[in-house]
Each structure stands twice: as C-alpha cells, then as structure tokens.
A and B are shown apart, each in its own frame.
Chain A
Amino acid sequence: MSTVKEKVNATNKEAQLKQSSYLEAISLALWEELERDEKVFLIGEDIGVYGGAFKVTEGFLDHFGEDRIIDAPLEETGFIGAAIGAALTGLRPVVEIQYADFISCGWDQIVNVAAKMHYRSFEPVPIVIRSPSGAGLRAGPFHSQSPEAWFSHVPGLKVVAPGTPYDAKGLLKSAIRDDNPVIFFEHKYLYRRLKEDLPNEDYTIPIGKADVKRFGEDISLITYGAMLQKSLEAADRLISEGISMEIIDLRTIYPLDIKTIIDSVKKTSKAMIVHEDIRTLGIGSEVAANIADAAFEYLDGPIKRVTAPDIPVPFSPILEDAFLPQTDDIVHAATELFNY
C-alpha cells in the first residue's frame, strides 16, 4: 500500500482526478493542511509511530516530525484540554479521538471550556476533534456509537458528519480553517468501502450547508453519514415503484441548514428522516420540529423517522443488523409515506 504522501505526489504529477477512499480523503485533507499551515498540528493516541488505529495518519510522523504529529498519553481530558490551551495560544490543533465512543472521556473540556470560550472572552478556539463514529463493524457497544446529537445540543460547537469522500475532504479542510471548535464525525464504516474521484486542486466545502445528493419530486429524505448510501440505494429501488425521492445529505449537523430542508419539503410535501443514531432526541427530532414549524401547511403526510431503536449498539451480527436502519426499512417507510 502506498502512503498518502506518495498518493499526493502521484496526484500532483498526474494533475487529474484521483479515486480516493473516504479514509484517504481525510488523510489527504490532514496532510495538505499540515503542509499549508505550520500552525496546524495533530495530537491523539497512537497516531504517530503506529499511524492511527485506522491508519489515517500512516507515514505522517516520518514526514512532519514529532512536534507536529504528537502521540498523546491515554488521557482524553488531558489532550483535549491541552489542545484547547494550544488553540488559545496561537496554534490550530487537530485532535484524533480513537473511537468517537471515547469522546465522552473529554466531555467537560469540550462543552465547558472550548464551547463557552468565545461567548465570554471573544477568543477564538480553532480546534478540530476528529472522531470515528458509527456502527456496522461488529464492534459492540463501545466502538460503534453515533454521539453527534450530544454535541449538537451545546452552543459554541460546530458538528460535522460527512457522508462521502469528497465532502469529507472539503469539510475537514473547512473545519481546520474554522476559528471555532468543530467536532468532526467521520463514519468508520465508510473508511475503506466508499471511493470516489477527488479533484487534485485545493477545495473546501462550507460548514453549515446541506447538499441535495439526488433531486426528486415525491418525498424529501433527510439523512447524513453512512445512512446516505442506504438512502440512495433505497431511492434506486423506489424508482421502479414510481416513487421519486429527493435525498438531502445534511453534511453538517450543527448549524443545521434548515433552508435547504424546508425548500425541498415545500416542493415534495412529504418528509422523512433517516439516521443510525437512536430515535429519541436524535437529529431527526430537530429536523422534524423545524419542518413542522416552517412548512406545516405544505405537508401532505406525517413526518417519518427511520432510526435505530433507543438501545445501546449491540455486538452480535444479527442484533447489530437489526439495530441499524436497513435499505428495506427505508423503502418500506417511504412507500407507506408515499401512499399516505
């Protein structure tokens, strides 16, 4: 396997589109931002010598050195807090939380120190916390969670959850250049399963902007993360039923792009939300409330949610598959809504 550095060189030489996995897209964004801005540095567990639990930073230590790729002791509060301190004194740290499940170990530093800093002191806190989240890898209750809703309830944080390699690269660059704390949830199921052509030139995707991944007429389906792919699969199958789905990929969870959602619902008059986080007070609740508030008179059916149930993420494959929303579930819910 070639390193990211070799891939970057290859893309530079070829000066053409290059197919990259979701993981490579994230890796490239980090590499290019480290090259672009000497204030950027990475810190996290096992990111240096080992190259990261998922190998996102493989080869980085040799190229950038140990002042910029820092292997931290096993202490999320310690190194998240330290990253905040570094951000307040002129640097732009990018923290890797090995699995998003462990981000709760650093919760207080994120929500009480980083999030509330600018409102009270007007000091920027340019920190990115990368957290591989999501289920589907048979990893059990402590390596599979989707904690994006927790952080969307904390004013002062931005929460990003890209669903494609292209968006992941562009959004991570925006996050690193942003002067606010950004929690960046990368879906680990997509790491090596999803590939797409990436442009060679530098580009960013704005935080706070949803993307209509497919235009349609009958139902607005709002989703993000790994559920985007299942939603697109469902949309393909629904075409034969004569149901035209509009698929909105939120990309950013907070701030939520309400306008894109409402514009779509006003057109289709039917809305459903698909996410793999649990149901109660998930992002779907907030999306549904906004639709009810701003597009009530346009609705021609109930706002439906396809989500995981309110339980921990189970391990055994049969249980995990039942826990996760599947393409069949989306097709079923969409058909019901269409026929309402």
Chain B
Amino acid sequence: MRVNKKIKIELYYYMRLGRAIEERLESLYRQGRMPSAIYLGRGQEAITVGAAMALEDGDTMAPTHRDMIAMLPRGMDPKMIFAQHYGKVTSPTKGRGEATYLGDMSKGIFTTVSMLPDFYPVSAGAALSFKLQKMPNIALAFSGEGATSRGDFHEALNFASVLQLPAVFVVENNHFAYSTPVDKEMKVDQVSTRAIAYDMEGSTIDGNDILTVYESVKKAVDRARSGKGPTLIEAVTMRMKGHSGHDPMKYVPEELLEKWRKKDPIDNYQRRLQKEGTLTKEEIVRVSEEIEKTVEDAVAFAEESPFPREEDLVLDVYR
C-alpha cells in the first residue's frame, strides 16, 4: 500500500497535536489547575492516530482512557478535551464525565467507560447494527493488553467471529496493566495468538511505526468492510508515563524506558519524513506554531467556559 503525502502529513500532524495536548494537560494537572485525573498515551501515539486515520465517516470508534488523541483525526475539537478535563459545561459530557471519557456519536466516537474492554462487545454490536442495516460501515475498538484477560474480550471476539461482523479490534500492548507486567497477565507471548481461538485473523505489529499501524489497520478495515469478518491486531508499544497522573511508575526499569525512548514514534517518523523529503524544516516550524496556537486557544476556551449549574445536577439521567 502506498500512503500518499497528504495522509503522511496528517498522521504526523495529529501525533504532534495529540502529544502537545497531553503535555499541556500534564502541566495543568501538576499545577493543580484542573480537577480531573489524567491518562496519558505518551509513546503510543502511532497506534491511536494511525488506527483512527484508517476509518471513514460513519464508522464507529471506541477509545480507551489512554486513546484520547485517536479522537482528533475523527474531528474532536481540542477545546472539548480541555473543557472536559476542567469539568466545564461546554464539554461533550457537560461536566458529567471526567478525563478522557468523552465522545461524540455524530463523529462515530463512543463515550466509553472505565471498565475495559466493555466497548469490545458494544463495538461488536455497532458492527452487527451496520450489517443488519446493510450499511457500509465498520466498528473499531481499542483495548490494552491487560483487559484482554477479561471475559468481555472473549465474548466480543467470539460474537464478532460467529456472526462474521465488520469489526476491528486493536490491542495496544504497552507492557503494563497499571503496575502489572505482561508476564503476570497472561501466558501467551503474543496477544494476537488469542485470535486463533476465534478462527479470526490476528497479527502482531510494531506499534511505534505509524505507517505500519495505518496500513495494517486499513487492511483490516477494508477486509471488514468487504464482509470478510473481524480482525484482531496487537500493536506492541510502551507506556512511557504512569497509569495516571499520580503514578511515577517506579515499577518500570529505567533501562526499559531508555530502550523505548529511542523508538519514539514521533521523533522517528519526523526523521523519516524529512529524509524522504516529505517534510521540511519550515513545515515542522509551521506545524509547531499551529499546534501551539490550537492548544493555547483550547486551554483559554476551557478556562473561560462556565461550570455546570448545580440546578442541572439531576437532569438527563433519562431521555
């Protein structure tokens, strides 16, 4: 598959934007300016952005708490992300939900929950819905490797396989479920071998190479769209920050982090684009300036936005 220049630049842009948003969230969190917890996906940008970019309008996407930046290519405004973390009424949840648990069904983004991978079955259901309504869409869901030990993972993959649904299941193997390393989570070396149990296509890919992620997910998406059924993709990466903002992750050996720092998905991709002449120094500067302004505007929007009104506390529990 040849990825054209426009897509290559977009992949680059959204990874940069996502990282800038997360860096800003972290500094606001450390300054105590936001009430919300933070869940950072630093180091995993290639998976979230690459997979999200492989989707089309009308497809659904179910991020986990660590995949917030996957929403950017699907059209989520960074203003919404900051408003959400500030608990402001201008956020998609109007201050009812915290951190990265926001979504927008008009953009196909589910407002997911903390329990993982609860949106694997839900996404299988969206895929069923597309199939029943003879719509050309597919459903993509993210999970960490830790949550693949839960029953929801098994039931969703079994369901999607038995009914041959247009679904793509992406597992980000970032080596740790909170503090628990993979070898204490499962006996298999690769999560993708679990696909065998469902007679499903499964593969393990380099999760820090965004072109590999984009192309692999695109292939799975196309496969699902053409009625050939679901795919499980394990993208191997490393969680470069703690589980959440308060976690200094002292349980991760420094050598491991050092090894993965050299594999940074953005640095390596930028060098590659520069080397092949797709990206110039001037363009990098321009992208940096644009992102800085976008983030500044989004923070200002969140800070200036009103909080929800107490009198609206009990509204909207029901339709």
**Given A41-B132, A75-B159, A79-B159: A121 and B120 interface contact (C-beta under 8 Å):** no
A109 to B74, CA, bound (A): 25
Contact (Cβ within 8 A) B111 A123? yes
* B158 CB–A CB distance under 8 Å: yes
A64 to B299, CA, bound (A): 53
Residues on A with beta carbons closer than 8 Å to the beta carbon of B94? 122
Residues on A with beta carbons closer than 8 Å to the beta carbon of B158? 73, 75, 78
CB contacts between A and B, total, < 8 Å = 131
* B93 CB–A CB distance under 8 Å: yes
* A18 CB–B CB distance under 8 Å: no
Contact (Cβ within 8 A) A82 B118? no
Q: Pick out which of these stretches binds chain B: A46-54, A111-119, A197-205, A309-317.
A: A111-119
Contact (Cβ within 8 A) B317 A82? no
Q: Mark B134-170, 1 if CB is under 8 A from A, else 0.
A: 0000010000000000011011101100110000000
A112 to B127, CA, bound (A): 21
Residues on B with beta carbons closer than 8 Å to the beta carbon of A41? 132
Contact (Cβ within 8 A) B125 A82? yes
A79 to B159, CA, bound (A): 8
Residues on A with beta carbons closer than 8 Å to the beta carbon of B96? 119-120
Selected from B105, B118, B156, B316, the residue in CB contact (under 8 A) with A88 is B105
Interface residues of A in 31-74 (CB under 8 A from B): 41, 67-68, 70, 72-73
* B121 CB–A CB distance under 8 Å: yes
Residues on B with beta carbons closer than 8 Å to the beta carbon of A77? 121, 151-152, 155
Residues on B with beta carbons closer than 8 Å to the beta carbon of A89? 60, 125-126, 129-130
Contact (Cβ within 8 A) A67 B152? no
Q: Mark B306-319, 1 if CB is under 8 A from A, else 0.
A: 00000000001111
A102 to B60, CA, bound (A): 29
Number of interface residues of B (CB under 8 A): 43
Selected from B97, B103, B121, B319, the residue in CB contact (under 8 A) with A82 is B121
Contact (Cβ within 8 A) A88 B126? yes
* A81 CB–B CB distance under 8 Å: yes
Interface residues of A in 156-204 (CB under 8 A from B): 156, 158, 178-180
Contact (Cβ within 8 A) A112 B121? no
Contact (Cβ within 8 A) A120 B97? yes
Which residues in A have some Cβ–Cβ distance to B below 8 Å?
41, 67-68, 70, 72-73, 75, 77-91, 93, 108-109, 112-113, 116-124, 155-156, 158, 178-180
CB-CB nearest 8 A-B residue pairs: A85-B125, A81-B121, A78-B155, A82-B125, A121-B111, A179-B319, A85-B122, A75-B155
Not counting A78-B158, A81-B156, a sample of 13 additional A-B residue pairs whose C-beta atoms are within 8 angstroms of each other reads: A72-B159, A73-B159, A78-B121, A81-B122, A82-B121, A82-B156, A85-B124, A109-B121, A109-B152, A112-B115, A118-B319, A120-B111, A180-B319
